[in-house]
Amino acid sequence: MLSGSTTCPRDYLKSIQAQQIELSTLDMAISGVNIDEIYIYKNSAADPHFMSLHRIASGFCKVVAEHYPILVGRPLVNDEGKGVINVDPTNLCLPDIADINVEHPAEDYMESSSDGKVMFFNLHKFYKHSGVDELPHATYTKDHSAAIVRIIRFRNSDYAALYISFSHMLFDGIGATAFFNNWAECTRNLDNPSYQLQTPPVNDRKVVSDYFASVEPTEPPHIQHLREQSAVPIMKTPGSIAPLLLAAPETPVFKEQHLIHFSKEKFEQIRQDVDPEQTTNLALAALLTK
């Protein structure tokens, strides 16, 4: 159960400057989608202060202040009609960081791979038997936190879990993993105030767009359909789509979505029906596009 909460120690946030970080169209299109991650750590050294709430929060705020101010900003449409994350030092969007105590050992929710080399945390089993109905999801419209962090502590167990949720428009998968590693590095070195990350992140979000501007796209495979398709009518689009994208409803979490499952045999049937010379991925992409 929730046993304690905190926010960023203010001393770490004094260096944050006012700024606007421009969002791409793709960033805004996935603004309602979350990245939710759970990482499991083992207290091998029997440290009584293992994964302390204050230390985790301090490491988070230090790495945010020095490298990721986007995590304490708020999305808005600026005067130029562009979607941005607005970082206002007088009105920061502080994270929600808290402890959760579970009255069961972590081993009750862990499963191993067939070869026994990899351990998995079974989230469905956790929700069903831990007393925690659901871990919170970050949203700018409900709880006004750009990031939600939960340290999950288990009874009579050497393990602790670290859960984080934030909007997908802030990071892609690689960026999220890099943030998590940098957060861990900062937390491990909190006792050295002058410590700097070994590999600081690149915060210029135009790097990716500049790179793709120089890439020549490959010709997609031509797949002949048996049925003639009518021409797609020309659609009028507004001068700025930022207000529309940032106002889009949030995407439901996965347990609320309807999923379509394709068996291996059905995939092969689709490939044969579309074009046997193409890969399964291309055949499925063609079907979805159609």
Contacts of 167 (CB under 8 A, 6+ apart): 31, 32, 33, 34, 35, 138, 139, 140, 146
User: Mean pLDDT over residues 80-102, rounded?
Assistant: 93
SS3 at position 166: strand
- Regarding the domain with residue range 2-208, which homologous superfamily does it belong to in the CATH classification? Chloramphenicol acetyltransferase-like domain (3.30.559.10)
What does the radius of gyration of the chain's CA atoms come to, in whole angstroms? 23
pLDDT tens-place string over residues 204-252:
767 666 766 777 777 776 766 555 656 656 655 556 678 877 876 676 6
* Mean pLDDT estimate for the chain: 83
pLDDT classification of 279: cutoffs 50, 70, 90: confident
Domain ranges for the chain: 2-208, 260-289
pLDDT classification of 166: cutoffs 50, 70, 90: very high
Q: DSSP alpha helices (H): ranges in 228-278?
A: 242-246, 264-274
Does position 7 have pLDDT exceeding 60, yes or no? no
pLDDT at 1: 55
Does position 50 have pLDDT exceeding 70, yes or no? yes
**CB count in 10 Å sphere of residue 143:** 12
Does position 71 have pLDDT exceeding 90, yes or no? yes
Contacts of 117 (CB under 8 A, 6+ apart): none
Q: Report pTM.
A: 0.75
Which residues are paired to 19 by β-bridges? 87
Best CA proximity match to 87, nearest among 170, 190, 211: 170
Is 35:168 a contact under the CB 8 Å cutoff? yes
Of residues 113 and 9, the one with the higher pLDDT is 113
